[in-house]
């Protein structure tokens, strides 16, 4: 099976040890399921891998991948840091009781309100994207009487083989300040001048869903060379090096397995070797995984509706959700594995496209899948939906968002309740 939390038992699909048909009946569909133990296990893969090698490291969960109160509580319990990108994520973390000194605030455009909100709540580090953000932080920090810790986000100029929308480490990216153009050097000199800003080190994030281990090695090498140059030029020694997130996950059986621990070891060893050769003090190492913490901890259940067979052309299976709860095929043509949860022992010989209920032809969850012959009322399961599904969901066509039900050691509980029709009009005056 795709992941060890997915099983077929007497023709029924089980997820995280529970029968998905029972859960669909109990909570209704569409329904997001999340395997709490898997989330915790994924956090520990990173922490144990780094912990074995080095004691001065921090793993930040990139909470854009999936953000609601319970997730931040789990991160707190797992002793993780977090990466946040908006006042909304900061607020949710606060409401969950997450200690904000362990948060790193990203975003290529933090508004003055965002900056003030974060500082008033004593958020640990800002990851600064460009020059004018430094001016704004200095202005607000001085007003609030704060000394703000920051990292500078740099673009090492690496082109990863991921899809365009998540390729973020290139020179012409909207994120960060480019090393290649000389502007990274200028921003370091600029940042060092401010009274209320403490430059702790550097950050880079190269791309998302990256399978290629060389990418992180090349990224860290460029960052270390840059750190050496900054020591020479400005007598500045970085205390923190954040290598970003981005490890890929298996959406289908065709995707390769990544041994994250082995990858981390390779990167750490290369960093250590180079740092020692440079005679540079070993910085704190940070990583920011999002997708690989939550993706395979998630599954979405739908109820099958219309089955449309266009003679001589193609077949469609429509479900009671769609691009509103999972926009990733519409946006990136992302692959997914689809099961008929009540027909796991039936032969998969029916080709169709799995589509949603929105008034839009692009509302496709997956094209050309082969599953057992579907009928209205079947339960359709899409695997590996824990990352960038709930967090990217919308109310397009005024469709309420599904609830998130967590599973832990054979118990299920609601972490986010289903939106109601009343919720949809709550802001309408």
Q: Which residues bind ligand LLP (CB under 6 A)?
A: 62, 65, 83, 106, 166, 168, 205, 208-209, 244-246, 288-292, 328, 332, 388
- Adjacent-strand bridge partners of 285: 57, 241
Q: Least CB distance from residue 134 to ligand LLP, whole Å?
A: 18
Nearer to ligand LLP, 249 or 344 (CB): 249
- Between the alpha carbon of residue 159 and those of residues 156, 183, 184, 212, 257, the distances in Å are 9, 19, 18, 12, 22
Separation between Cα atoms, residue 7 and residue 390, nearest integer Å: 23
- Between the alpha carbon of residue 107 and those of residues 96, 176, 229, the distances in Å are 21, 9, 26
Instruction: Give me the helices (H) in 279-316, please.
Output: 291-294
Residues with Cβ within 8 Å of residue 225, at least 6 apart in sequence = none
Q: Least CB distance from residue 387 to ligand LLP, whole Å?
A: 6
Residues with Cβ within 8 Å of residue 141, at least 6 apart in sequence = 119, 147, 148, 196, 197
Nearer to ligand LLP, 173 or 198 (CB): 173
* Active-site residue (options: 66, 200, 204, 359): 359
Nearer to ligand LLP, 169 or 283 (CB): 169
Residue 404 parent element (H or E):
strand 404-408
∠ CA 148-152-158, rounded to 5°: 160
Nearer to ligand LLP, 14 or 203 (CB): 203
Nearer to ligand LLP, 205 or 401 (CB): 205
Q: Least CB distance from residue 168 to ligand LLP, whole Å?
A: 6
Nearer to ligand LLP, 75 or 344 (CB): 75
Separation between Cα atoms, residue 130 and residue 127, nearest integer Å: 10
- Adjacent-strand bridge partners of 284: 240
Q: Least CB distance from residue 240 to ligand LLP, whole Å?
A: 14
Q: Is 359 a catalytic residue?
A: yes
Q: Least CB distance from residue 321 to ligand LLP, whole Å?
A: 16
284: exposed, middle or buried (Cβ count in 10 Å: 0-12, 13-18, 19+) = middle
- Pairing verdict, β 240-242 and 284-287: parallel
Q: Least CB distance from residue 154 to ligand LLP, whole Å?
A: 12
Residues annotated catalytic, as ranges:
359
């Amino acid at each position: 099976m795709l992941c060890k939390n997915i099983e077929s038992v007497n023709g029924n699909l089980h997820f995280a040890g529970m029968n998905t048909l029972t859960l669909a009946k109990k909570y209704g569909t569409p329904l997001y399921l999340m395997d709490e133990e898997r989330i915790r296990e994924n956090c520990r893969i990173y922490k144990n891998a780094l912990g074995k090698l080095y004691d001065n490291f921090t793993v930040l969960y990139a909470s854009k991948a999936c953000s609601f109160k319970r997730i931040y509580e789990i991160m707190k319990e797992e002793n993780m840091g977090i990466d946040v990108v908006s006042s909304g994520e900061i607020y949710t973390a606060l409401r969950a009781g997450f200690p904000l000194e362990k948060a790193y605030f990203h975003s290529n455009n933090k508004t003055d309100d965002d900056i003030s909100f974060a500082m008033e709540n004593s958020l640990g580090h800002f990851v600064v994207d460009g020059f004018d953000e430094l001016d704004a932080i200095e202005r607000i920090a001085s007003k609030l009487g704060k000394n703000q810790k920051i990292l500078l986000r740099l673009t090492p100029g690496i082109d990863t083989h991921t899809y365009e929308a998540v390729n973020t480490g290139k020179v012409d990216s909207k994120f960060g300040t480019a090393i290649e153009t000389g502007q990274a050097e200028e921003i370091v000199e600029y940042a060092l001048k401010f009274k209320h800003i403490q430059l702790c080190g550097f950050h880079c994030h190269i791309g998302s869903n990256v399978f290629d281990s060389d990418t992180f090695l090349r990224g860290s090498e460029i960052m270390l060379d840059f750190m050496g140059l900054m020591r020479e030029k400005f007598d500045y020694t970085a205390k923190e090096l954040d290598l970003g997130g981005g490890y890929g996950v298996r959406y289908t059986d065709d995707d390769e397995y990544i041994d994250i621990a082995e990858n981390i070891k390779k990167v750490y060893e290369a960093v250590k070797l180079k740092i020692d050769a440079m005679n540079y003090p070993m910085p704190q190492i940070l990583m920011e995984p999002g997708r690989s913490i939550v993706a395979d901890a998630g599954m979405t259940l739908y109820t099958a509706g219309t089955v449309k067979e266009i003679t001589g052309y193609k077949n469609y299976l429509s479900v009671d959700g769609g691009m509103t709860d999972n926009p990733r095929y519409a946006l990136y043509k992302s692959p997914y594995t689809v099961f008929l949860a009540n027909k796991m022992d039936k032969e998969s010989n029916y080709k169709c496209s799995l589509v949603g209920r929105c008034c839009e032809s692009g509302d496709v969850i997956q094209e050309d899948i082969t599953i057992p012959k579907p009928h209205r009322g079947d339960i359709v399961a899409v695997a590996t939906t824990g990352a960038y599904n709930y967090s990217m969901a919308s109310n397009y066509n005024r469709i309420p968002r599904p609830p998130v039900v967590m599973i832990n050691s054979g118990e299920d509980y609601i972490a986010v309740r289903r939106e109601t029709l009343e919720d949809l009009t709550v802001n309408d005056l």
